[in-house]
Amino acid sequence: MRISFLFAVSAALVLSSEAAYSQSTKPTVIKVSYVTSPLSAKMSAMIKGQVSDPQQYAAIIQQLSDVKIYHSLYVDIKTNESVYKLDSVKEVKGTSIAGQVIFCHKDPLGNFTGQETFTGSEYYFNGKAQTLQWDISKEKKTIGKYSCTKATLKNSPDVSVWFTTQIPIGNGPAYYYGLPGLVVEADSYFESCSISQFEYATDKAVFSATVAKYQALGKGKTTMPLALVIASKQNFITMAENKIKQKQSK
């Protein structure tokens, strides 16, 4: 009886130790891969307003669809620090894109700094994740295995995302922070993107090195407030739409 009792206690201690070890070694960094196309709903509508021939329109849409921009998002789920970075671009001859995010680093307090190219210019931006305001709708749809909800950036109707609370991390591509779940799809002024892969990154050292690299890139740079960046893009779109309307009225 005593032997059985000691065996049971020993077994319980072993199981407890294994559980503690498993929990302590569980990866705390997730990696999300995104694929971006320089073709948003807004871009499609603007092209359609300028190209009347259906075949020509289809050819332009196909050409833009063939361009792919690959990014990776790393998030430390314990500290909420994250890095979104450009990995590579699949270019198509004769096609140019409006711009792309090079990187965006967010610290554990929600302060972020990033770099972006837009219409041939390169600049750095900054902001706070807490200041991004979203209108969360009642629209739902399933994307892959995720149940998603649609949200639109306040005062920017051309920026919409689909997020899932199945992954309760308030991150997404670029600077799309502050939602109750991970952004699975996004559609903005000049691009649309979606998740291609979700996984745990087992090497914390790689995450730390990536953070250090992009912190150094943004250090000491003159930055624009994110609100100004968004307003500039909205103004660009408005001017482009006005020019299209003027052309159509002639």
- Going by pLDDT thresholds of 50, 70 and 90, the confidence category of residue 235 is confident
Tokens of 151: 């949200």
Contact between 146 and 166 under an 8 Å Cβ cutoff? The reply is yes
Q: What are the residue ranges spanned by the domains of the chain?
A: 27-129+191-249
Instruction: Give the DSSP letter of residue 131.
Output: G
Whether 164 shows a pLDDT value over 90: the answer reads yes
pLDDT tens track for 3-41:
443 333 333 433 343 343 334 457 889 999 999 998 888
pLDDT tens track for 122-145:
999 999 998 899 999 999 999 999
Q: What is the pLDDT of residue 197?
A: 95
**Separation between Cα atoms, residue 237 and residue 230, nearest integer Å:** 11
Return the H-helix or E-strand segment holding 66.
Answer: helix 54-66
Percent over 90 (pLDDT), the chain = 54
